[in-house]
Chains A and B, each alone.
Chain A
Amino acid sequence: MKIENFRYDLLPLKDKLFRLALRITLHRQEAEDIVQDTLLKVWSKRHELAHVESLEAYCLTVCRNLALDRIALKDNQAERLEAHENGVCHTPDVAPTADERMEHDERMKWVARLFSQLPEKQRSVMQLRDIEGLTVAQTAAVMHISEADVKTTLCRARQTIREQFKKIENYGL
């Protein structure tokens, strides 16, 4: 894979990288820094990337590794998790709202919280598979894990989400 032009080859990947970084760090500003670092790193190494098959997968891998490094640096991750959840209701509203639209918004926030509470590996797999629409093979390549591992992780994440949905059905939102 050859990188000729920063603007045309690398820059279009920024939003995808940003979404993955945001999914991992749960922090907008940090995710933005990570995207910047990722793009600069890949750009500076552009002459050594002849062996890389998919630039997108390579960038996503670099991005994820940088994001994981950042997470490791911060020992108190729970605090930041809460900071991200500011403004999002912690316990789902028990009383059904009259306005359907608002109820839907509440549910979306609740789903966002569900996603954020998953372990990082499950979160990343969900991000790549369910939001970016990558295949299992592509996801495995990005995360440097086996396809079977991707499937297991994905299955666990979705089962967790399904359990939470069942709870809601039984006890109400």
Chain B
Amino acid sequence: MDYKYIEQLLERYWNAETSPQEEAMLRLFFAQSELPAHLAPFKALFDYQATQSAVSLGSDFDQRICQQIGEADTEPASGPATVAARPITWSERLRPLFNAAAIVAIIATVGAAAQYSFGGGNEATWDYNTANYVETYDNPQAALDETMEAFKIIGDGLKTATAADDTMSLNAIIKTPIE
């Protein structure tokens, strides 16, 4: 690879004839890690220049100087003034109460869950084995009458429901001109 251009630039650099743009180019060239042996020694110089442009003050400097400005001046530049009293909304005011309520709710939930899991909870289990079913009536005739009565009530209900839900009559209603 031909490094004539860089060599020329470098020579002009030593003689202070380069522009800031050309010097930036030199810094860019020397920033790469693979350099020809005769140019490699100067890497440190340009790397040093590049790193030095990043030297900066500590982060607490801003705060300190702004405090000083704030003391010497009352310009808005010193940042928003802090006010001791500030309005509190109702939700903010009631927040401790909500917190307490939430704690109570959590304790109650956890307590109930613990009680359920430790104290049995077998009341609501279903028995699907029909052999275990026990009769709950004494008189079979009375039981049959009761059942028939129940069917009759359901049948009546179905009849009226059909009448109200009849699509034919519904159509008739829709087609009837409103007068």
Contacts and interface: CB of A to CB of B under 8 A. Distances in A.
Contact of A44 (B42, B53, B72): B72
A132 B57 CA distance: 15
- By secondary structure, the B interface counts as helix
A43 B23 CA distance: 34
Interface stretch (B14-22, B103-111, B120-128): B14-22
Contact of A22 (B24, B55, B64): B55
B115 interface: no
Interface stretch (A5-13, A55-63, A64-72, A75-83): A5-13
Interface string A18-62: 110010000000001001100110011000000000000000000
Interface residues of B, number: 36
Interface string A86-114: 00000000000000000010011011100
B56 A108 contact: no
A19 to B, nearest CB: 5
Interface string A106-148: 0110111001000000000001011111110000000000000
B31 interface: no
A112 B48 contact: yes
Interface in B14-62: 14-16, 19-20, 23-24, 41-45, 47-49, 51-53, 55-58, 61-62
Given A6-B77, A165-B42, A104 B57 contact: no
Nearest to B24: A133
A40 B77 CA distance: 13
B57 A131 contact: no
A36 B96 CA distance: 46
Interface residues of A, number: 42
B65 interface: yes
- By secondary structure, the A interface counts as helix
Contacts of B58: 32
Contacts of A18: 55-57
B53 A39 contact: no
B52 A19 contact: yes
A35 B51 CA distance: 20
Contact of A115 (B15, B48, B77): B48
Contact of A155 (B16, B24, B65, B75): B16
B18 to A, nearest CB: 10
Contacts of B16: 151-152, 154-155, 158
A2 interface: no
Nearest to A155: B16
B44 A104 contact: yes
B69 interface: yes
Nearest 8 A-B pairs (CB), nearest first?
A107-B44, A155-B16, A6-B77, A154-B16, A111-B48, A15-B56, A131-B52, A133-B20
